[in-house]
Structure 1
Amino acid sequence: MELLSQMWSFLGLLTVLQNILPTQLLSLLHSIYESLLDFFSPFSYFEIPEFNGYCGVDMNELYLHVNLYLNSINSSSTCQHTVQDSLDEKRSFSLKLPKRHRHKLLSSYLNFVSARAKDFERVSRERRLFTNNGHGSYESGWVSVPFRHPSTFDTLALEPELKEQLTEDLTAFANGKEFYHRVGRAWKRGYLLYGPPGSGKSSLIAAMANLMCYDVYDLELTKCSDNSELRTLLIQTTNRSIIVIEDIDCSLDLTADRVSKLKSKKSSNHTRSSGCDEEKGRVTLSGLLNFTDGLWSCCGEERIIVFTTNHKDNVDHALVRSGRMDMHVRLGACGIHAFKSLVMNYLGLDSHRLFGVVESYIRSGGALTPAEIGEILLRNRNDADVAIQGVVTALKGGRDAVESDDMVNVPDVIDSMLLNSPENSDSSSGKFVGKRKKIKFLVRLKSLTKSDSGRRVV
């Protein structure tokens, strides 16, 4: 009881001193008290406020990183670190470190927190799929929807070597900020995907976006009125994104630009002036080149540009040269490893008695795209034997079709050759039949030689 009365007396004395002593003296005493506590404490405390700068109006980036880091770890482990709520709306985090190791730990730990926060933000944020709406000259030329494509490199029907090469190249690009700045190059990468329809070009783009956690901008060139709008659309794209132009050879007649320019030099002055008016009202090859590799292409960082085409030879060489399209990826017929990947994805099988038959047909010239094989497996996914037998039948039909192409209308061709020959204009029917058999034998021998030597390459 006596101890309690002494405590109340001490608190009363403090209250009297607080009212009597000047504010400056109280502040000095408080700072001395804090210094004594800090001197005898084995820990150092660092405050990370939400706002800093002049008048405290600038958002503290480190505060955001700490907040993201705490959200990224298990909530049950962070509950013990929440001490109290701030009533004056001035929020901050307090970091406690051992005093003897604070200089060694502070910088490395904060760098670790920032790195984890950036990774968490990259993975957790909602990715979006954009397309241009034809109004690039206004506030925003893009409209978007959530991007939820399920394709990944684990589910792609690609050969293992190509899959590994692509993932390593993408990972090196994502981690190459310092390298690109050091060598003086814009932090961007170009990919040309070419192959027949159904070979997996769109699925590969989706897998790239999911691996890198990038937004996707699907650029429709036919909706761009001119080069200025194309440049505006480029400026409106964000960092960490993939810009896709599908079927680049069909979107616009870009290859004919150079030919038209050469012809315009030989035309009259009136023709040249009218041609210039036409150039101002459309997207040109020069505008697209500046879009991919000009000065305006460096207005953002960590961006990937992807062109797709069914026929690589139809694309102007200036669009796909090194420096614009850094990596050319050929996607063709489904190989045996890609086929096994499809079977695992659709049927859940890693082996089957017909795998050897499928491999022999693929090696002998049977060619199906991953989309064609995937459709067969999808239709018969409840019966693995029927599904794989369907693939075998389709491969056999494709191989037979290739062989029949070599022998199409061979009898008619032979008859035409013999009948149109001058030396057979008056020949007897016996000589005609004999020469017909000889030519047919030679054509058949040539086709067999071709099938053995030319069908190995897929």
Structure 2
Amino acid sequence: MELLSQMWSLLGLMAVLQNVLPAQLLSILHSLWQTVQDSLTPYSYFDVPEFLGSASVDPNELYRHVHLYLHRRLLLHPPSPPPRLTLCSSPASFSLSPNNSVEDSFSGHRILWTHHSDTLQDSLEERRSFSLRLPKRHSPSLLLPYLSQLSAAARDIDLSSRDRRIYTNSSASSHCSWTSVPFRHPATFLTLALPPDLPRLLPPRTSGIRQVLLIAAMANHLAYDVYDLELTRVPHNSALKSLLLQTTPRSIIVIEDIDCSLRLTADRRRSKKRKASTSPPCSDEDEESGERVTLSGLLNFTDGLWSCCGEERIVVFTTNYKQQIDPALLRPGRMDVHVQLGPCGSHVLREMVLRYIGEAAAEEMMPVAERSLADGATMTPAEVGEVLLRNRDAPETAVRELIAELNARICSEEVEEGWIEEVEEEDGVWPGKEKRRRGGSDGIVAEVGRGRGGGWERRVRFLGRVRSLTKSDSGRRGV
């Protein structure tokens, strides 16, 4: 009580001296008073302003991290009584109002954040900041670990909440840069049919649109941006390096159809031939090759020294002809994962039928479908999806057409080898198949699918005729 009365007396004395003493002396007394206060309080205080520097034009990234972290904490763990919050729109959210506080905990210690907002005199400019209160005794050991954890959590919140974007590089005639649009694709790994033997890698798909679904599922799962790099628009290696430096961390860089984007393999072979020949190389050709992207430039882009300028980037190459890619791109250690995008297996086929037409249809057709797959029928997921999608409202029709298509694939393959297959439908069920040889390699005569199989007969005869026309004239005849 005596200490409190003495403090009030000191405050009254300072109020009187403020009108008498000069400004320099008042500043010294104010500093002494702050020192006394700091020595008496058990807490340490740290300010996090919104902008850095005297001009207040450099944004403070830590302020933004604190804002995101406290927003998520207030959402998941609302305090009691709740502090005053400021509502925001687009998207709807809220933030801590000025001069309000919220508590946090770290390593068993209570931490207090306070939001301050001050308006400058003779100006409408508002200065905002957060104040962090830590126990003075433990502040040296708490400050850096706590801020590191807060920043890491804020970055994860930012990546999960912000809109992802897809970028593409501009044409070669202009300055090399990226242009972007919002990336909103519904594909996820939960909506893709995954084979059971690839739970940790990527699901196999067929070419074209299925590659797009796979890349979109990766981007949505990792919350990464997508950069669609068109190599034909890049004028030279320096521009390719510049595009790499402009990409953001945590992104997927996609180079589609690498086998036909640039003739890298042909260039290397042509270069070897020129070195082996005695004739001097063409100067125009050399000049042209110096003004475009080369294989060495692409290799430096993927795993060269400049590729270390960012972190958490994934480079994805797509191709339909792996054998046409230069072996330098496929060297071990350069490509971490190779995924063969092949036809459907029984597990993928079952998953697709379940999602398109239901479990009852899947249980009805899968035994027959598995026998067809075992006999050599191949269908890609895109082809299966096409059959199921056009009969989505008629599961029985979808099952019949899919089984017929699988049997047609078996029949087509066996006709090429001189074998045919007779498939009979009895009460809507395909009980099995029996094979028999007709004629030989000279000709094929068959009737496939009695009753409703007129189209099958024409197909087999047509395939047999095509085969006979492609044979040599050494005693072979057509149908």
SS at match of 1:152: coil
Matched residue type, 2:244:
L
Aligned mates of 2:98, 2:241 — CA distance in 1: 51
Aligned partner of 1:122 among 159, 177, 186: 159
Query: Bigger shift: 123-132 or 203-212?
Result: 123-132
Q: Find 1:245's aligned residue among 244, 251, 255.
A: 255
Q: How many angstroms apart in 1 are the aligned matches of 2:291 and 2:142? A: 60
* Residue 149 of structure 2 corresponds to residue 112 of structure 1: yes
Aligned to 2:111: none
Other-structure match for 2:180: 144
Q: State whether structure 2 residue 339 is matched by structure 1 residue 329.
A: yes
C-alpha distance in 2, partners of 1:259/1:290? Answer: 20
What is the aligned partner in structure 2 of residue 60 from structure 1?
60
Write the distance in 2 (CA, Å) between the matches of 1:248 and 1:355: 37
The equivalent residue for 1:294 is 304
Task: Tell me which residue corresponds to 2:127.
Answer: 90
The 5 Å alignment of 1:274-423 reads: 274-347=284-357, 349=359, 352-407=363-418, 414-415=441-442
**Cα 1:14–1:357, aligned 2, differ >3 Å: closer, same or farther?**
same
- Distance 1:405-1:158 versus aligned 2 partners, 3 A rule: farther
Partner of 2:227: 217
Residues 293 and 324 in structure 1, CA contact (< 8 A), matched pair in contact too: yes
List per-residue Cα deviations over 1:113-153 (Å, max 9, x = no partner).
111110011122222222223237x4343332211121111
Measured at CA, do residues 226 and 103 of structure 1 come closer, stay the same or move farther in structure 2, by a change above 3 Å? closer
Distance 1:386 1:394 in 2: 12
- Check the 8 A contact 2:418/2:441 in 1, yes or no: no
| C-alpha contact (below 8 Å) 1:152/1:211 kept by paired residues | yes
Distance 1:404 1:73, change over 3 A: farther
Contact 2:207 2:341 in 1 (8 A): no
Unpaired runs of 5+ residues, structure 1, are 1-8, 168-192, 417-458
Question: What is the TM-score of this pair, normalised by structure 1?
Answer: 0.72
SS at match of 2:118: coil
Query: CA offset at residue 307 of structure 1?
Result: 0.9
After superposition, the CA RMSD in angstroms is: 3.5
Amino acid at match of 1:165: L
Query: Which amino acid counterpart does residue 70 of structure 2 have in structure 1?
Result: L
CA contact (8 A) 1:196 1:311 kept: no
Structure 1 residues 166 and 411 mapped into 2: Cα distance closer, same or farther (>3 Å)?
closer
Tell me, yes or no, if the aligned pair for 1:135 and 1:141 is still in contact at 8 Å: no
- Quick one: which amino acid aligns to residue 142 of structure 1? W
Q: Is the 8 A contact 2:50 2:63 kept in 1?
A: yes
1:194-232 CA distances to partner (integer Å, 9 max, x unpaired)?
x75358222111111122222212222233334444333
* Structure with the higher helix share, 1 or 2: 1
Equivalent residues, number:
382
Identity %: 50
The match for 1:50 is 50
Change (3 A) 1:118 1:10: closer
- Following superposition, the deviation at residue 260 of structure 1 comes to 0.9
- Give the AA of the match of 2:161: S
Q: Contact 2:206 / 2:381 at 8 angstroms: preserved in 1?
A: no
1:207-258, Cα deviation, whole Å (9 max, x unpaired): 1112222221222223333444433333333332222111111222222122
Shift of 1:348: 5.7
Tell which has more relative contact order, 1 or 2 (C-alpha 8 A, sep 6+): 1
Change in CA separation of 1:23 and 1:229 when aligned onto 2, cut-off 3 Å: closer
Q: In 2 relative to 1, CA 197–405 (structure 1 residues): closer, same or farther, beyond 3 Å?
A: farther
Question: Which residue in the other structure is 2:169 paired with?
Answer: 132
Residue by residue over 1:388-437, the C-alpha shift from the partner in whole angstroms, topping out at 9 and shown as x without a partner, is 44333322222222222222698776449xxxxxxxxxxxxxxxxxxxxx
Shift in alpha-carbon separation, 1:11–1:276, aligned structure 2, 3 A: closer
Give 1:281 deviation, angstroms. Answer: 4.3
- Taking structure 2 as the reference length, the TM-score comes to 0.69
Deviation at 1:12, TM superposition (A): 8.5
Contact 1:361–1:395 under 8 Å retained in 2: yes
- Residue segments in structure 2 that go unaligned for 5+ positions in a row: 1-8, 85-95, 100-116, 121-125, 421-436, 444-479
SS of the equivalent of 2:188 reads: coil
**Maintained 8 Å contact 2:206/2:382:** no
Contact kept, 8 Å, 1:198 with 1:370, in 2: the verdict is: no
- Structure 2 distance, partners of 1:108, 1:299, is 25
Please give the alpha-carbon distance, in whole angstroms, between the structure 2 residues aligned to 1:12 and 1:151. 70
After TM superposition, the structure 1 = structure 2 runs for residues 178-193 of structure 1, keeping only pairs within 5 Å, are none
